[in-house]
């Protein structure tokens, strides 16, 4: 019996010990003085983490390019939708237990609020001041920096829709009804709320209702739509991402076209106040706006620098600086929630 | 067991002892058990309490936010349809399977393990496998069905795995194993004399089933049905993975949405979980009331007969068909996708590739997630076994501590009645605030796993302790062994099978835990199931297929190791 009692006490101690053993393990590092010192400290920190809603293939390319330039620093990326990532960034700030160093998003309202709420620190890298980057156009409050941009367009499976999808009429063709189109769910993603509002206006004033009449399938993200088009689960989408171009290069039976009046959105990034690697975070932020960084992160997307090979979208000859951030005033919490419920009633009711 | 609380015959001995010593020993014991209950209470009750107090704060704003949604009626209807629909499927299939396995021909005896295997297969793997088979477009089984004359000519369907109906059917299939567990345990207690008597009196197999077996099974059917209903209400994986497409929502997925939107609304999530908590509590208390005194269930005793095997070939067919549908088919779906460059109904041998398995090692995070799953599961099991043994000892042997016993009994039953999602949300809320900020650590995963598994650790060791009775320990004491010697030479060896099976069961359940993990994981601290889900929502289907196979292999390896240590019958003891 004593042995049992001992084991009971031991178990209790174990559980308590496990609880208390977890104070702050890494409280984060201090930012060094000059840029050379920052780079040297970053190499000592040895790792850096980015949270991003960009395409997984581009983030993988970014990892390779960054680690090639800074072999001493291991880059970890976490890819998800804004709905996945924003709550995590919020929790990390609240608990003071940061994992992410750099965070990249398209959510205009969130971008506006974050600076007021002290989420981020000033960026200090030298490449933000390069003429081509156009700091005045590209950096908000010395904290958020323009990183990339995308346009959503028509994507289709070439073996299912040999003629392709070129116009709004092609999308609303009865042939494409009954689950053959795929669209993204705007739940928790204000950027998509903005997208549905804008294409509704730009594509005929009643486009969303007509689209709902097509009974499209609903996916969590544009990346998932790309995969579903490649697999033939759906035939096409009016709101595909340019990742389809990468899939096409990989040999998947897909194609992509930019419609008239496309909806585009820029990505902005911030260095987080809760970053566990203060120096490596600045080094990564700076790398993102260098030509090597842009070639990786903006491959088949819209770059922030001119003349970067492999970037850009056929039919949309623009730079990321030309793609406007949505007006945050139209994307407050209540109006986003209200639109979301309206959207669900229309598409899933 | 100290002498103070046993037979009157030993009372004189007690009186002869110095009072002080006896008292301090008694108090040490009480304090030890009180500390144990406090720790469990903090782990299990505090997160639930925090959720509710948050939901009611600010004039019950959480309830208003959740139950003021225009789709809440539909959500509630779907929740109950899922629970009841899957319950009916699981009860019917589980009972038929239990009867069939009891009638298996002797050389087909190995088939008895088949109905349990779906428990070994991770639920995320199983559901993803079904999606690969039954997605209306590229689903392989759908593509095959479209070759049938009456479905030809269409390029989608006939089955839509994303519909409510099919989510219910697939959930019901998953719950069948749990019902089977309870019913087959009840079936084993039916003496074969009854069956033989009925057969000799001229009853057919179906007659025996309806007139003898079913009435005798009533208690286990009620109990197994209750458990399956609770599990059905708390179902999360199926609706989350399959329901997105058509907007199928249940209360558990609503909880997930409320804490994974920005800004997070814990109050609304807590409110969404309330009906499930209340229902779980009702079932737990009803069970306490119905079962009453546990010692009535001592089963060790002489047995005058050995169970005989049946001679029914149909039984083997039934079990084999179930195994094929519930296990082999989804596995085939996973294997085909994992060997393809992209998921498509047009298969061709030239496209088959092992790239996705190589990608398991190249894709960041996958190997880490396997390590995290195994390490956190083992840690949780290592904590659970002594905790469970402590509570079991308290409940079975310490009649002198009625309040602590009752608390231990009820607190350790809570995680069985209340869905894992709710504990996940409660832990996220509790441990992202002081005093213990554990967000982003493996510790929070270990702790929530401990909570989920405490009922199994406690119940399985408790059952073994109860059925052992006091006689072995008394015999040991009479033969002159001290309490320590009795513990090590009699109690523990006798409990070994129970401990080993509980370890095996807990490890299996934890390595594919999903519902609580997805709440408490952070971006870089992921277990296998949560990372698989991330790749699923990103649409990386071939990689998801390979990950699901990897997950099944890890769990399968756990089962094999458990069998090597605990003998081939470890799974039988579940």
- Give pLDDT, residue B93: 92
pTM for this prediction: 0.84
Average pLDDT over residues A280-285: 96
Residue of A nearest to B29 (CA): A5
The distance of A307 to chain B (nearest Cα, Å) reads 30
Mind listing the pLDDT tens digit for each residue in B94-139? 989 988 888 788 777 778 888 888 888 888 999 999 999 998 878 8
Q: Which helix (H) or strand (E) holds B157?
A: none
**Which among A88, A224, A347 has the least Cβ separation from residue B538?**
A224
Which architecture does CATH list for B30-70+354-574?
Answer: Orthogonal Bundle (1.10)
Contact A108, A326 (CB under 8 A): yes
Residues in chain A: 349
3-state secondary structure of B136: coil
Given a cut of 90, whether residue B239 has pLDDT beyond it is yes
Average pLDDT over residues A179-186: 90
Average pLDDT over residues B421-449: 89
**Which among A51, A231, A341 has the least Cβ separation from residue B342?**
A231
- Give pLDDT, residue B306: 45
Q: Do A11 and B386 touch (CB under 8 A)?
A: yes
d(CA B424, CA B275): 16
B348 in reach of chain A (CB within 8 A): no
Measured at the CA of B424, the angle between CA B418 and CA B429, to 5 degrees, comes to 115
Most confident region among A115-119, A184-188, A277-281 by mean pLDDT: A277-281
Mind listing the pLDDT tens digit for each residue in B254-268? 999 888 877 888 899
Work out the pLDDT band at B296, boundaries 50, 70, 90. Answer: very low
Lowest mean pLDDT among A184-193, B470-479, B545-554: B470-479
Average pLDDT over residues B460-477: 81
- Give pLDDT, residue A63: 95
d(CA B345, CA A232): 8
Higher pLDDT, A221 or B301: A221
Q: Given CA atoms B160, B165, B169, B172 in this order, what sign does their dihedral have?
A: positive
From chain B, pick out residues whose CB is under 8 angstroms from the CB of A233. 135, 137-138, 343
Work out the pLDDT band at B211, boundaries 50, 70, 90. Answer: confident
Q: Which of A15, A77, A229 to mutate to test the interface with B (most CBs of B within 10 A)?
A: A15
Work out the pLDDT band at B11, boundaries 50, 70, 90. Answer: very low
Helix%, strand%, coil% for chain A, nearest 5? 45, 20, 35
- Give pLDDT, residue B330: 93
Mean pLDDT across chain A = 86
Residue of A nearest to B33 (CA): A8
Average pLDDT over residues B451-466: 86
How distant, in Å, are the alpha carbons of A191, A202, B513 from that of A320?
Answer: 16, 21, 42
**Which among A4, A78, A344 has the least Cβ separation from residue B247?**
A344
B29 in reach of chain A (CB within 8 A): yes
Q: Which of A231, A235, A349 to mutate to test the interface with B (most CBs of B within 10 A)?
A: A231
Mind listing the pLDDT tens digit for each residue in A26-67? 456 788 889 999 999 999 999 999 999 998 889 999 999 999
d(CA A52, CA A223): 13
Given a cut of 60, whether residue A1 has pLDDT beyond it is no
Higher pLDDT, B62 or A104: A104
- Give pLDDT, residue A83: 83
Mind listing the pLDDT tens digit for each residue in A216-262? 988 888 888 988 898 888 899 999 988 888 888 878 899 999 888 88
Work out the pLDDT band at B474, boundaries 50, 70, 90. Answer: confident
Q: Do A188 and B534 touch (CB under 8 A)?
A: no
Given a cut of 70, whether residue A15 has pLDDT beyond it is no
The domain limits of chain B are 30-70+354-574
Mean pLDDT across chain B = 82
Q: Do A18 and B383 touch (CB under 8 A)?
A: yes
Most confident region among B78-92, B331-345, B389-403 by mean pLDDT: B78-92
Bridge partners, residue A113, by sequence: none
Closest Cα to residue A53, out of A232, A202, A182, A243? A243
Which ranges in A96-234 belong to alpha helices (H)?
108-116, 135-138, 168-172, 190-202, 207-213, 222-231
Work out the pLDDT band at B365, boundaries 50, 70, 90. Answer: confident
The distance of B25 to chain A (nearest Cα, Å) reads 10
Lowest mean pLDDT among A16-30, B319-333, B451-465: A16-30
Residues 116 to 175 of B: which have CB under 8 A from any A CB? Answer: 135-138, 156, 162
- Give pLDDT, residue B59: 83
- Give pLDDT, residue B567: 64
Mind listing the pLDDT tens digit for each residue in B242-255? 998 788 999 999 99
Q: Which of B34, B74, B154, B538 to mutate to test the interface with A (most CBs of A within 10 A)?
A: B538
Average pLDDT over residues B453-481: 83
Tell me if the bond preceding B75 is cis, omega within 30° of 0.
no
3-state secondary structure of B526: coil
């Amino acid at each position: 019996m004593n042995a049992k009692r001992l084991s009971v006490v031991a178990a209790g101690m174990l559980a308590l010990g496990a609880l208390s053993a977890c104070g702050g393990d890494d409280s984060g590092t201090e930012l060094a003085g000059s840029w050379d010192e920052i780079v040297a400290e970053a190499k000592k920190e040895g790792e850096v983490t980015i949270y991003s809603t960009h395409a997984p293939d581009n983030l993988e390319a970014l990892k390779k390019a960054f680690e090639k330039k800074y072999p001493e620093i291991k880059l970890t990326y976490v890819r998800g939708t804004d709905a996945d990532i924003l709550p995590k960034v919020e929790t990390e700030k609240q608990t003071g237990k940061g994992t992410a160093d750099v965070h990249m998003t398209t959510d205009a309202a969130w971008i506006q609020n974050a600076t007021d709420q002290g989420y981020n620190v000033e960026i200090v890298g030298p490449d933000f001041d390069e003429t081509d980057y156009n700091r005045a156009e590209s950096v908000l409050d010395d904290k958020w920096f323009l990183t990339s941009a995308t346009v959503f367009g028509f994507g289709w499976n070439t073996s299912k829709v040999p003629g392709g999808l070129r116009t709004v009429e092609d999308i609303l063709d009865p042939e494409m009804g009954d689950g053959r189109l795929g669209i993204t769910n705007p739940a928790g993603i204000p950027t998509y709320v903005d997208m549905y509002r804008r294409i509704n206006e730009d594509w005929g004033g009643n486009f969303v209702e007509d689209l709902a009449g097509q009974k499209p399938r609903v996916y969590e993200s544009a990346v998932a739509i790309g995969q579903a088009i490649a697999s033939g689960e759906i035939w096409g989408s009016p709101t595909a991402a340019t990742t389809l171009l990468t899939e096409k290069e990989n040999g998947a039976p897909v194609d992509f076209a930019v419609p008239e009046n496309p909806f585009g959105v820029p990505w902005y990034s911030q260095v987080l106040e809760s970053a566990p690697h203060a120096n490596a975070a600045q080094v990564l932020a700076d790398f993102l706006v260098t030509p090597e960084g842009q070639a990786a992160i903006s491959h088949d997307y819209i770059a922030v620098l001119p003349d970067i090979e492999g970037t850009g979208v056929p039919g949309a000859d623009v730079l990321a600086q030309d793609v406007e951030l949505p007006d945050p005033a139209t994307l407050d919490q209540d109006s986003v929630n209200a639109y979301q419920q309206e959207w669900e009633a229309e598409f899933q009711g | 067991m100290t002498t103070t609380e046993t037979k009157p015959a030993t009372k004189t001995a007690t009186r002869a002892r110095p009072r002080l010593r006896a008292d301090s020993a008694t108090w040490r014991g009480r304090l030890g058990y009180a500390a144990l209950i406090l720790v469990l209470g903090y782990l299990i009750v505090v997160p639930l309490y925090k959720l509710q107090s948050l939901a009611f704060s600010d004039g019950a704003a959480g309830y208003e936010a959740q139950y003021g949604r225009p789709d809440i009626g539909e959500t509630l209807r779907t929740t109950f349809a899922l629970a009841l629909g899957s319950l009916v499927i699981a009860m019917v299939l589980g009972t038929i399977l239990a009867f069939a396995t009891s009638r298996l021909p002797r050389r087909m005896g190995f088939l008895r393990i088949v109905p349990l295997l779906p428990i070994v297969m991770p639920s995320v793997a199983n559901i993803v496998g079904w999606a690969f088979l039954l997605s209306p477009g590229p689903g392989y089984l759908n593509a095959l069905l479209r070759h049938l004359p009456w479905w030809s000519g269409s390029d989608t369907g006939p089955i839509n795995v994303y519909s409510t109906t099919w989510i219910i059917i697939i959930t019901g299939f998953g719950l069948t194993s749990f019902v089977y567990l309870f019913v087959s345990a009840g079936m084993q207690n039916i003496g074969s004399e009854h069956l033989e008597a009925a057969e000799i009196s001229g009853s057919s197999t179906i007659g025996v089933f309806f007139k003898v077996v079913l009435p005798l099974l009533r208690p286990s059917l009620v109990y197994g049905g209750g458990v399956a209903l609770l599990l059905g209400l708390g179902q999360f994986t199926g609706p989350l993975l399959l329901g997105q497409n058509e907007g199928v929502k249940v209360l558990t997925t609503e909880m997930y949405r409320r804490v994974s939107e920005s800004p997070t609304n814990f109050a609304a999530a807590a409110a969404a979980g309330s009906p499930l908590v209340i229902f779980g509590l009702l079932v737990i208390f009803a069970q306490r009331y119905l079962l009453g005194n546990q010692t009535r269930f001592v089963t060790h005793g002489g047995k005058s007969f050995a169970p005989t095997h049946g001679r029914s070939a149909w039984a083997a067919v039934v079990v084999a068909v179930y195994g094929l549908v519930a296990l082999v088919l989804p596995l085939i779906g996973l294997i085909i996708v994992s060997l393809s460059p992209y998921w498509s109904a047009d298969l061709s041998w030239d496209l088959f590739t092992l790239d996705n398995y190589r990608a398991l090692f190249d894709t960041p995070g996958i190997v880490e997630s396997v390590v995290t799953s195994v390490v956190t599961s083992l840690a949780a099991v290592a904590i659970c076994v002594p905790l469970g043994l402590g509570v079991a000892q308290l409940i079975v042997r310490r009649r002198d501590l009625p309040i602590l016993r009752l608390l231990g009994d009820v607190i350790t039953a809570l995680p069985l009645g209340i869905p894992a999602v709710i504990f996940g949300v409660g832990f996220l809320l509790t441990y992202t605030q002081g005093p213990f900020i554990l967000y982003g650590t493996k510790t929070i995963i270990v702790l929530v796993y401990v909570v989920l598994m405490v009922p199994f650790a406690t119940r399985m060791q408790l059952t073994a302790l109860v059925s052992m009775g006091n006689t072995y320990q008394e015999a040991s004491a009479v033969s002159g062994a001290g309490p320590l010697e009795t513990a090590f030479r009699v109690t523990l060896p006798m409990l070994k099978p129970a401990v080993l099976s509980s370890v095996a069961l807990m490890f299996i359940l934890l390595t594919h835990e999903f519902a609580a993990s997805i709440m408490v994981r952070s971006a870089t601290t992921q277990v296998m199931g949560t990372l698989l889900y991330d790749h699923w929502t990103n649409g990386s289907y071939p990689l998801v297929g390979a990950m699901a196979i990897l997950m099944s292999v890890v769990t399968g390896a756990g089962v094999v190791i458990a069998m090597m240590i605990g003998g081939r019958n470890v799974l039988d003891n579940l």
